[in-house]
Chain A
Amino acid sequence: MIEVTNLVKNYGDKKAVKGISFTVEKGEILGFLGPNGAGKSTTMNMLTGYISSTSGHIKINGVDILEDPIKAKSNIGYLPEIPPLYVDMTVDGYLNFMFDLKKCKLSRKKHLEEICSLCKISQVKGRLIRNLSKGYKQRVGLAQALINNPPVLILDEPTVGLDPNQIIEIRTLIKKLGKNHTVILSSHILPEIQAVCDRIIIINKGVVAAHGTADEIARNITNQHKMTLRIEGSTHTKDDKQVIVDAIKSIDGVKYVRADMEREKGIYDYDVETDGQTDIRRAINNICKEKGWNILMMQLSDLTLEDIFLKITMDDSFVNNAEKKSPKIELDVKDGELIASEIEENKGGEK
């Protein structure tokens, strides 16, 4: 439905988007995730033909957006970050204007009524957009995108500035729309993306940092799977600990086992790391059954989307900077006191 290859956008010297490629299938909800300024909005603006790409291709429903913009645009409903609302019009007047603008051939009254009830704006139809609350404005923006039933919906941060109730409503609405439309949705709110999207693209500094379902991304980021076990041994003594550690270590695919602190009397937690390919849960269960131990808890400590997001977006920028900025300290002992002094880095170079 949407095919993007090697999309690049330069603003003068600044490279906003550096070669993004992805495809979205029909009826899929794709989430764009990334910190502010990562290139999400720029990419969406290019997808909708609002700005053009420096290089690369975008095909919407098989039509290149630069070659036949009018045909490609007729397949898209777009809700930009700031909804394009004429505040001096009434909701009804505005939707009628968009209906004409999109050259919609459907039955006007019926189509607009459907959209209004879907977005729950029927009761504000006669009001000036200027006087609506932020939440209603957002919904009118969404209604505008739905006019003419475009097969592709592109929504740039649709829930920003809404209260929690409205966020849940809009999310439910998007899920509902995802059944008949291809949806691309951007956000910097992780639970939102996780709740709504089938597939996620994490964009950072203009490149695709990760791509796939939330689980797939997690698997790619962490090769090892971690697991925490709480096992009740037979004797409730420290001897149990070593026996259990050895037993788990003997399972295929286990790379590392460590006994953690005593949680209940004579019962310990064990941190287990696997190679990421073998599922060891059943093997552990079997061993425990054999030896007469009880598994009191088994918890997979997979990375959450939040962890992944932080890991991807902070990895090269934040961590490196922090390392660079931390001063190098020289320790010296003088008259029995420990003296720490900062080393000036350019000291040697100047001499």
Chain B
Amino acid sequence: MGAIYRREMGAFFTSGLAYVFLSVFSLISGIFFFFNVIGSGTSNMSSMFGSMFIIVLFLIPILTMKLMSEEKKNRTDQGLLTAPIGLWSIVLGKYFAALTLFIIAESVVFIYTLIIAVYGEVMWASLLGNYFAMLFLGSAFIAVGIFVSSLTENQMASAVASMLALFVLYLFDSLASNIENEYIQKAMLSLSFYSRYIEFTSGVFNLSSIVFFISTAFLFNFFTVRVLDKRRWG
């Protein structure tokens, strides 16, 4: 796992993807910070985190798009799958590499706290709550992105399909409100990433949501392992 993690981290930076991801993330979160936080004269960064949901939704597929698809396309998966390591090590090595980059990007908010500290008081509890909410959200999204990437050899197809998949998950709220059947509506709402995430930005710390994000991450990593395993049996 360590070897794959280090290779993927290196590949993020040599391919330049890491720089693009980090700068786009910083730029957009900076814009939201400027208008939503500084502009409205508050030290509460929750509204910035709320707006970042949709940005994370579109940025994470770019991070994960080639993690599995490129391996298949360049036949480098033959090297990995014939090495004396398990499938979980391969998937988790890649998963944690993407997660690390996401955490680096997200940690740009701590620079914003310095700016706030100059003018007022930092609301640490709210900030950390939001920070971890986004971390858990990202960890679930990354697993979905890697899973989609494992289904195709084309990284663009992988990116578009993951964006679409995450976007459909985002739409669950609006879809659910149009559904008559109470049970289906309830089920859909409980699967909604958005409402679970937004809850955190309004200051509610819901343990079940954290469990939800972590289990989603686990589930999709498991699916990816199954895809790799199934390819051997195909």
Contacts and interface: CB of A to CB of B under 8 A. Distances in A.
**SS of B interface (majority):** helix
B80 interface: yes
A4 B75 CA distance: 25
Contact of A86 (B11, B81, B86): B11
Interface in A147-185: none
B234 A101 contact: no
A87 interface: yes
Contacts of A82: 75, 78
A264 B5 CA distance: 77
Contacts of A78: 78, 82
B11 A80 contact: no
B75 to A, nearest CB: 5
A144 B79 contact: yes
Interface in A80-117: 80, 82, 84-89, 93, 97-98, 100-103
Give the one of B4, B74, B231 with max A CB within 10 A: B74
A74 interface: yes
Contact of A73 (B3, B84, B233): B84
B81 A50 contact: yes
B81 A100 contact: no
A238 to B, nearest CB: 68
Nearest to A93: B10
A80 B75 CA distance: 9
A89 B77 contact: no
A51 interface: yes
A49 interface: yes
Given A82-B75, A88-B15, A89-B10, A100 B3 contact: yes
B166 to A, nearest CB: 27
Nearest to B76: A84
A250 to B, nearest CB: 62
Interface string B64-91: 0000000000111111111111100000
B84 A70 contact: yes
B203 interface: no
A11 B232 CA distance: 11
B84 A74 contact: yes
Contacts of A45: 78
B14 A103 contact: no
Contacts of B14: 88-89
B169 to A, nearest CB: 32
Contact of A85 (B4, B15, B76, B77): B76
Contact of B83 (A52, A73, A88, A93): A73
Given A70-B86, A73-B84, A98-B79, A52 B6 contact: no
- Residue of B14, B79, B86 with highest tally of chain A CB at under 10 A: B79
Contacts, number: 74
A71 interface: yes
A76 interface: yes
A138 interface: no
A52 B230 CA distance: 10
A86 B7 contact: yes
A204 interface: no
A48 interface: yes
A103 B84 contact: yes
B65 to A, nearest CB: 15
B120 interface: no
Contacts of B75: 80, 82, 84
B77 A101 contact: no
A243 to B, nearest CB: 67
Contacts of B86: 70
Nearest to B11: A88
Contacts of B76: 84-86
Nearest to A94: B7
A74 B86 CA distance: 12
B2 interface: yes
A324 B234 CA distance: 35
Contacts of A74: 84
A50 B232 contact: yes
B78 A70 contact: no
A71 B7 contact: no
B83 A101 contact: yes
A112 to B, nearest CB: 14
A74 B83 CA distance: 7
B84 A102 contact: yes
Interface string B175-207: 000000000000000000000000000000000
Q: Which 10 A-B pairs have the closest CB atoms?
A: A84-B79, A100-B3, A74-B84, A73-B84, A48-B82, A101-B3, A84-B76, A80-B78, A82-B75, A84-B78
22 contacts: A50-B81, A50-B82, A51-B231, A51-B232, A51-B234, A52-B233, A71-B84, A74-B84, A78-B78, A78-B82, A82-B78, A84-B75, A84-B78, A85-B74, A86-B7, A89-B10, A100-B3, A101-B3, A101-B79, A101-B80, A101-B83, A144-B79
Given A78-B82, A80-B78, A84-B75, 20 more contacts: A49-B232, A50-B78, A50-B82, A51-B232, A51-B234, A70-B84, A74-B84, A76-B82, A82-B75, A85-B76, A86-B7, A86-B76, A89-B7, A89-B14, A97-B3, A97-B7, A100-B2, A101-B79, A102-B84, A103-B85
